[in-house]
Structure 1
Amino acid sequence: MARLTRAQQQERTRAAVLAAAREEFAERGYTDAKVDRIAERAELTRGAVYSNFPSKRALYLAILTDSIEHAGTDTGADTGTGGAAPSPGLADTLGAFARIWLERLPLTSDTPSGQKPQPRSLAGLFEDEPGRTALAQVTRLEALLLALALESREPQEARRVRLAELALTLVNGADHLADTAPGFGDPFDLARACRHLAGLDLADTWNPPHLPYITPAHLVQDDWEPPAEMTDHITGRPVGFEPDGVIAVLGTGRLEAAEEAVRAARPGDRITVAVVTSDPAEVGRLVRLRIGDITSCLRRVVPEDSWPAPHLVLDDGAAIASAIGIPDVGDSTEAAVRVQAGRIFARAHGRGAAYAVAIAGETTTARTGEAGR
């Protein structure tokens, strides 16, 4: 029998750890699970577990992320009409999203023993400040993605971020109650409630007060070579870096700035948001989990060809950041470039960087007027 290579042995060890951890977390939950018992189940040493996953939290997040990615591999448009394209109505789209989101709520008959770990069950997982900040910021990014999907269903221009935030508050609250008070709340009632949210007038506008005061982008003429084999985590397809567009590199503490690039984009621009973090094993997996969850729902509601979302790359290795000349990245990173004709035309760093490069080369007066849309 041929000997395993080092890479094959590492993959086998990692698979054994994950299988043992699934059993341990399913039986005991996150809080009471023990790394020593996981190692014993896998017939490995404690050190072998930690050589693959730096903490119990990283291991738990890896299991949740894996479950989301496998659940989303065979989903198609689904709005309760036999897979047909969704109604263009805002209310119908929002109601369909809520119904699909709520499909995975635990049943009243489910018990903690023998349950699979719930992908949205993050109670007690992130009590530290970096984790709480990342969770708040990724929720804002989720709201933007849902809002863009909702906006694509309307003929007129309208911002729907506040509506998306309200809907996510409702369905996330249902997730929390499913953990703490199983069986409380009817999923069909919740889906109908989300549908009716579309009728609220939330006076949603886009006019951040800091935008008129940001530092303008630096105009340059720099070469750049796009990194290979990057995946768009919205569509699941490889990213093609167009010769014209905006690339924003955002740390997990500044994900809300993605909307600045989206709203300021010129017609025909392609926006790429690269998410970076100083902690790929935990915070990076948290972002991957949450984005994978919401996009798997959205793919079943809104056809991709009518969804004007940006590329979203989870750049754990900072490959995009390095390619555009950002050597050091962290959770507070906020930097962006505008690419024209395959070259870097403008650069900006710090608060408002994505907006600054998006409007680079245009008159301030014209773009400031558009910012209030």
Structure 2
Amino acid sequence: MVRLTRAQTQERTRSGVLAAARAEFADRGYRDATIDGIAARAGLTRGAIYANFAGKRALYLSVLAADAERAARARRGDAAGTATPREALAAIARARLGAGLPADVLDDEPARAAYAQLLELEALVLGLALERLGLRGRAVRVAASALTLLAGADHLATAAPGFVDQFDVVAACELLTALPADRGWPRAYLQHVSPARPVDEPWPDGPAPRDGVVHLLGLRRLEAAEESVRSAPAGVAVTVALVTGEPDELAPLARLVLARLDDTLRRAIPEPARPPVRLLLGTAADALAAAAGVAAPSDDTEVAVRVAAGRVVARAEGRGAGHAAAVVPVTTAVARPA
């Protein structure tokens, strides 16, 4: 008999808990599901459940995230059939209808604040995709309006069954392309941001990320991702690493939103129009944060570094850090501080 390692045993236990939670939520819904019910289905104690997950909400979000990740993987290689912003908005609506969260899942301020910022990030990525498909102006507002409409439709579908006509919701999302062009960029305060600090440092831990901007953002500051993405010169890679001071509680929520976004992009946006920004979460993001010198990430973290030729050539912290790091002039020779 093969003896499992401790890590393998833990992974098997987590998988069993998730399977039990999926069955409990499917049978009883989020509100009426209980940790005791999940423990009974898994053949474990309450303590064993809490040793692996922070609570019912973390379990629920982890189940949804795993399902969304599985759906996205199944669509790898598929080509979205959209060619215009209007077609893309219709495809986004079809992909997202029914994917809303029950209102009582986000029942505290930290979770609601993090979710609002995660939606800002989602609207940014979808808005950039609409722009790459030809929508004029800053399309983030269009994407945010579509997400708002879809969330409202999901809520009413639960609160007033039979009231929502899904075909009308999809058609309404298509019409959002007629919104007046949003010229709300750049943000006024960016012209007053302190320049990034020039440095010349080897990447301190393991292989360096690809050359470009590495933007480290806590879950309460994700709206700032637009500053590095839009400020970076054409062809400069941008990596946004999401970090949190409450990984047990908030990381499952972030994982769900990123998985849902990945699945939506695969279903609604053709490959050439998908924004090149790279989003990282979990161990990959934490490793980037540690290597960039952020020892204790929090939900208010806002740090950016510029990487060139495998070395850190500039650092910036605080409001506007992503913009400051993105606009640093970098030549083929690594810049060195005076």
TM-score, normalising length from structure 1? 0.83
Q: Deviations over 1:22-75 (max 9, x none)?
A: 222222222222212221222111111111112121111111111111122122
Letter in structure 2 aligned against 1:297:
T
Mapped partners of 1:92, 1:198: distance in 2: 10
Q: Could you tell me how far 1:179 is from its partner in structure 2?
A: 2.1
Provide the rounded CA distance (Å) in 2 between the counterparts of 1:313 and 1:257.
15
Report the CA distance between 1:169 and its aligned residue.
Answer: 0.9
Q: Is the 8 A contact 2:80 2:270 kept in 1?
A: no
2:92 and 2:206 mapped to 1: Cα distance? Answer: 34
Q: For residues 218 and 130 of structure 1, do their structure 2 counterparts lie closer, same or farther at Cα, with a shift above 3 Å needed?
A: same
Q: Return the alpha-carbon distance in structure 2 between the equivalents of residues 73 and 178 of structure 1.
A: 28
Inter-CA distance 216–315: structure 2 relative to 1 (3 Å threshold):
farther
CA distance in 2 between counterparts of 1:226 and 1:166 reads 41
Partner of 1:252: 219
User: d(CA) in 2 for partners of 1:65 and 1:39?
Assistant: 20
Whose helix fraction is larger, Structure 1's or Structure 2's? 2
Could you tell me which amino acid in structure 1 is paired with residue 88 of structure 2? T
Cα distance change, pair 224–30 in 1 and its aligned pair in 2 (3 A): same
Which of the numbers 180, 184, 203 marks the counterpart of 1:224?
203
Residue 209 of structure 1 pairs with residue 176 of structure 2: no
- The match for 1:280 is 247
Instruction: Report the 3-state secondary structure (helix = DSSP H, G, I; strand = E; otherwise coil) of the residue aligned with 2:74.
Output: coil
Please say if 1:323 is aligned against 2:291: yes
CA distance 1:180–1:272, change in 2 (3 Å): same
| Residue type at the aligned position of 1:303 | P
Pairing of 1:83-232 with structure 2 (within 5 A): 85-87=81-83, 89-102=84-97, 105=98, 120-154=100-134, 158-224=137-203
Tell me, what secondary structure is at the counterpart of 1:72? helix
Question: Structure 1's 320 and 34: CA in aligned 2 closer, same or farther, altered over 3 A?
Answer: same
User: Which segment is superposed worse, 28-37 or 4-13?
Assistant: 4-13
- Provide the aligned length of Structure 1 versus Structure 2: 329
- Give the Å deviation of 1:77: 7.8
How far apart, CA to CA, are the structure 2 residues paired with 1:190 and 1:19? 33
Q: CA deviation digits over 1:293-320, x for unaligned, max 9?
A: 1221111222223323301111456100
Letter in 2 for 1:351: R
2:57 aligned counterpart, secondary structure: helix
**Matching of residue 60 in structure 1 with residue 30 in structure 2:** no
The 10-residue stretch of structure 1 (199-208 or 184-193) with the greater mean CA deviation from structure 2: 199-208
Q: Give the 3-state SS of the residue equivalent to 1:44 in structure 2.
A: coil
State the Cα distance separating 1:161 from its structure 2 match: 0.8
Is 1:29 equivalent to 2:29 in the alignment? yes
Moved more, 136-145 or 37-46: 37-46
Structure 2 unaligned residues grouped into runs of 5+: 331-338
Q: Secondary structure at the match of 2:238?
A: strand
TM-score using structure 2 length: 0.91
Q: Which residue does 1:10 correspond to in 2? A: 10
Tell me the distance in 1 between the aligned counterparts of 2:74 and 2:41.
31
Unaligned segments of structure 1, at least 5 residues: 106-118, 229-239, 363-373
Residues 114-168 of structure 1 show CA distances to partners (whole Å, capped at 9, x for unaligned) of: xxxxx532311122221111011001001001101101111x8631111111111
Letter in 2 for 1:148: L
Coordinate RMSD, CA, aligned: 2.1
Match of 2:333 in 1: none
Deviations 1:192-228 (A, max 9, x none): 1111110221433303121122121101111105756
- Whether 1:75 and 2:75 are equivalent positions in the alignment is yes
Report the equivalent of 2:302.
334
Identity %: 49
- 2:139–2:182 contact (8 Å) kept in structure 1: no
How has the CA–CA distance of structure 1 residues 216 and 157 changed in structure 2, closer, same or farther, with 3 Å as cutoff?
Answer: farther
Structure 2 Cα separation of the partners of residues 225 and 27 of structure 1: 49
Q: Give the match's secondary structure for 1:216.
A: coil
2:96·2:150 contact (CA, 8 Å) conserved in 1?
yes
**C-alpha spacing 1:50/1:86, structure 2 compared with 1 (3 Å):** same
